[in-house]
Amino acid sequence: MAALCESFTLCGLGPSGGVGLGGGLLALEPGPDPDHVLLTDRGRTATLFKVSDQKPLGCWSVKHGQIITCPVVCNFETGEYIAVHDDKVLRIWKNKDINLDKVFKATLSADVYRIHSLPNGGPVVLFKGGGVRTLDVLLEAPQQEIENIISDEVIKWSEAFMEGQQPVLIFATEKDGDFFVYVQKLKMNSLHKYKLEQQELSKPLSFTAYIKNQIITLLCLYSNDSVYKVLIPLQQNSEEEEQILSRSLLLNLSVSGSVLKGTSFVVLDKDHIAILGSLAASGEESKECLTIWNTKFQTLQTSKELPLGTSGQLWCYEEKFFFTHGKVLTVVMYKCETSSLAAAVGKLKDSQTPDVSSFVNWNTLGDEELVVSLQSQQSVALKSESKMTLRSKRNTVAKVQPDTISVGQLLLNLKDASTTVFEDELRQLMSKAQTPDFQATIGCVITALINRCKTNPKYYPRNFLLQIVQTQDLSYSLCPDLMAVALEKKDVHLLQTCLQQFPDIPEEITCACLKVFLSISEAYLQRIDVNLESVICYIDIEFNNKEVKTEIVENGFNAELEQDIWDTKITKRTHLTDDGEFCPVGPQKAALLNAVLHSAYSETFLLPHLKNLPAQQAVLFLRYLYYLYVKCSEKINTTLPGIRSPTVNQIMDWMCLLLDAHFTVMVMLPEAKELLSSLHKFVRAQVRFYSELNKIEGSLRELQRLNHQKDSQTYSIEVLELI
């Protein structure tokens, strides 16, 4: 819950720094140290304040007749102050300098709009024509030519960030009611121009922006009393075209009938913004006030009336608001805690959590949230663009450096890349494995692949998918569509691997896999590579048998005759399978079915889906289970050899489930009759066997007890050694 705390006056303001638009201050900039601000008024003076002491530490003025046109900023690296007066004259001085006439002076060739000082990047100078120079470059040749980029557009607002090691400058311009946004990356010397989506009857009044994960979020306060959000990806590669930026409504500044006419605003954290404006209820006089809004829940969190009026400017540094109120510069502290619904509607119990830090931490912004919104944003943007743009984008894909851009961004960029490029890129991404968010990366990758598969029915990167699944970092919930696509493509090997790897497959999908496995013909399966390790140890692979047989009988019989005999044998044997002696399915199918047997399930959820199994398949499956059961019972320890071979419990559970699900079918189906009766015979024999075992166990236990009693004879002489 955000709250406004105590306020105090920092200083009184001269006649020029008064109330009303056009009045006020030129700017308030952070000073060289924490708790310091630099105030530049609209006249000749700049003052350095220590905020908590409410005390000026230094004051500098330009000569009469001169006027400071660009707010004084502090170069954080050198501790120097930089100002521009009369549009072109650059001044740089230190704390100890008193007279600005005697400090460093450089006259520039073009008018300066603003100087932005970045903590690690040095000051950046933005000229009114849209040209940008770092101070260092500028000072090498002050009279250098400055290009005019924006022709007759007028800069309305600008802001600078550090992205990685390079300064990024963003500024907004206006021309005839159209608004444009420029993003300039200084080191790469790239400039992008965007056009803000036009809005009927309203225009942006104020901007603010922040950067996170290579995406600039631009917030605009519009004259229709709403705040809009515009996402600008930094990795834009189309240099020529001017793109249109679409916006999404972030906040509507109306609360119970009254509307806030905002004049300026700042972002506090991912859920909160503060707006200075006048709250106008219908039929009442509007009151100026400072408000904090929760954007997540669209609520007004707190407000403070400012009856003496403001200049409409608001700054925020170090959890303090600065604004002019009447004839003074007022400082208001605030607290801004993590928002919850309870807090937003004011129902949260007053839990004093002093340890909740309330500084703006953009890293708390959810990644996915961003990616998703970006995607939607992007798709809108793309639709409105020509195919030309797309092509140009595609061309730049190869140039993209994967280590500097986010996965989401990369995937977006790859969206329309050619198959080979696409896969290569993804492989490259995968190869950077074991990064902390590798799992998330892999999830994104597989989603991208699946999406591509869905849109392009011919596209199915079988091996690549298998390779990804085998990383063992996936789960069903991370890529719900993967198995659906695999089912559609009948990629049984992938399905088998998924069944073995994923812990969270829904019973519906398990059943669908079972259905596919049972329906695929053996002939088809023989051509397919399936992991056979679960069956290889116990199944009688008839083809091997056949070869062995032919070898043995080779001398004496001719092979063709033998072949015939073999065939008849086979047919006989398939009849015999009812006794559970021979495997009713091929080894590939058996391996696939074992994967199903191994998967986790809950009976309640499995049963309804199991009922959908066609009768023939159910009988086949039961036959296989019966075969496994007999195989298990052959060995005294009732476990099948091999890796991932089904356990006797799994076999029994599935058998019970299958019989439950297909009770009527089994009763009605003539071919099931024999199977059922032999199964029954076998089970009955087993029950008898185990009851005999029970008896033996009883006798053995009795013997054991007798043995024990013998041990406890009443007298013995024993040898005891103590060391």
Q: Which residues bind another protein (CB under 8 A)?
A: 712-723
Q: Using the minimum distance from each CB to another protein, give the nearer residue, 249 or 706.
A: 706
Closest contact distance (angstroms) between CB of 351 and another protein is: 18
Cβ proximity to another protein: between 523 and 719 the closer is 719
CB of 705 to another protein, least distance (A): 11
Closest CA to 654 of 517, 537, 532, 514: 514
Q: How far is the CB of 179 from another protein (least distance, A)?
A: 59
Question: What's the closest the beta carbon of residue 655 comes to another protein, in angstroms?
Answer: 25
> Which residues, 6 or more positions from 461, have their beta carbon under 8 angstroms from its beta carbon?
419, 423, 449, 453
Contact between residue 181 and residue 243 where contact means Cβ atoms under 8 Å apart: no
The whole-angstrom separation of Cα 89 and Cα 13 is: 26
Side by side, the strands of the sheet bearing 89-93 are 68-75, 80-85, 89-93, 104-107
Q: Smaller CB distance to another protein: residue 189 or 716?
A: 716
How many whole angstroms separate alpha carbon 318 and alpha carbon 112? Answer: 28
Nearer to another protein among residue 352 and residue 709 (C-beta): 709
Cβ at position 280, least distance to another protein in Å: 49
Distance of alpha carbon 212 from alpha carbon 487, whole angstroms: 39
Question: How far apart are alpha carbons 280 and 258 in whole angstroms?
Answer: 5
Pick 359 or 715: Cβ nearer another protein: 715
In whole angstroms, give the CA distance from residue 407 to residue 417.
15
Strands (E), 128-257: 132-134, 154-163, 166-175, 178-185, 190-196, 204-212, 215-222, 226-233, 243-245, 248-252, 254-255
CB atoms within 10 A of CB 400: 16
**Residue 146 CA: distances (Å) to CA of 150, 301, 654:** 12, 46, 79
Residues 4, 314 contacting (CB under 8 angstroms): no
Residue 175 or residue 705: which is nearer to another protein going by CB? 705
Quickly list H helices, 502-614: 507-519, 522-526, 542-552, 559-576, 587-598, 603-610
Instruction: Please name the amino acid found at residue 131.
Output: G
Task: Give me the least distance between CB of 683 and another protein, in Å please.
Answer: 23
Supply the minimum distance, in Å, between the C-beta of residue 702 and another protein: 16
223 exposure class (CB count in 10 Å sphere: 0-12, 13-18, 19+): middle
Q: Which of 96/710 has CB closer to another protein?
A: 710
For the bound state, the minimum distance from the C-beta of residue 694 to another protein, rounded and expressed in Å, comes to: 13
Residue 384 vs 704, nearer CB to another protein: 704
Q: Which is nearer to another protein, 696 or 722 (CB)?
A: 722
Q: Which residues contact 549 (CB under 8 A, 6 or more apart)?
A: 562, 566
By beta-carbon proximity to another protein, the closer residue of 282 and 713 is 713
Nearer to another protein, 458 or 710 (CB): 710
Q: Please give the Cα distance from 584 to 574 (Å, whole number).
A: 7
Q: 3-state secondary structure string, 26-85?
A: EEEEECCCCCEEEEEECCCEEEEEECCCCEEEEEEECCCCCCEEEEEEEECCCCEEEEEE
In terms of CB distance, is 664 or 713 closer to another protein? Answer: 713
> Shortest gap between Cβ of 714 and another protein (angstroms)?
4
Rounded to 5°, the CA angle 113-118-124 comes to 35
Q: Report the DSSP beta bridge partners of residue 115.
A: 125
Shortest Å distance, C-beta 723 to another protein? 4
Provide CB contacts within 8 A for 141, sequence distance 6+: none
- Residue closer to another protein by CB (options 614, 698) is 698
Q: Calculate the dihedral angle through the C-alpha atoms of 116, 119, 120, 124, rounding to the nearest 10 degrees.
A: 10
Return the closest-CA partner of residue 248 out of 303, 311, 189, 295. Answer: 295
Closer CB to another protein, residue 555 or residue 716?
716
Tell me whether residue 696 or residue 720 sits nearer to another protein (CB atom).
Answer: 720
We find the least distance from the C-beta atom of residue 710 to another protein, in angstroms, to be 11
Please give the Cα distance from 644 to 650 (Å, whole number). 12
Which 3 state secondary structure label does DSSP give 647?
strand
Alpha-carbon distance of 446 to 555, in angstroms, equals 57
Residues 6+ positions from 224 with CB-CB distance below 8 Å: 199, 201, 202
β-strands 3-12, 328-335 pairing: antiparallel
Tokens encoding 359: 């500084």
| Minimum CB distance to another protein, residue 718 (Å) | 5
Q: Smaller CB distance to another protein: residue 560 or 718? A: 718
One-letter identity of residue 400: V
Least separation in angstroms between CB 695 and another protein: 16
Residue from 56, 37, 10, 24 nearest 318 by CA: 37
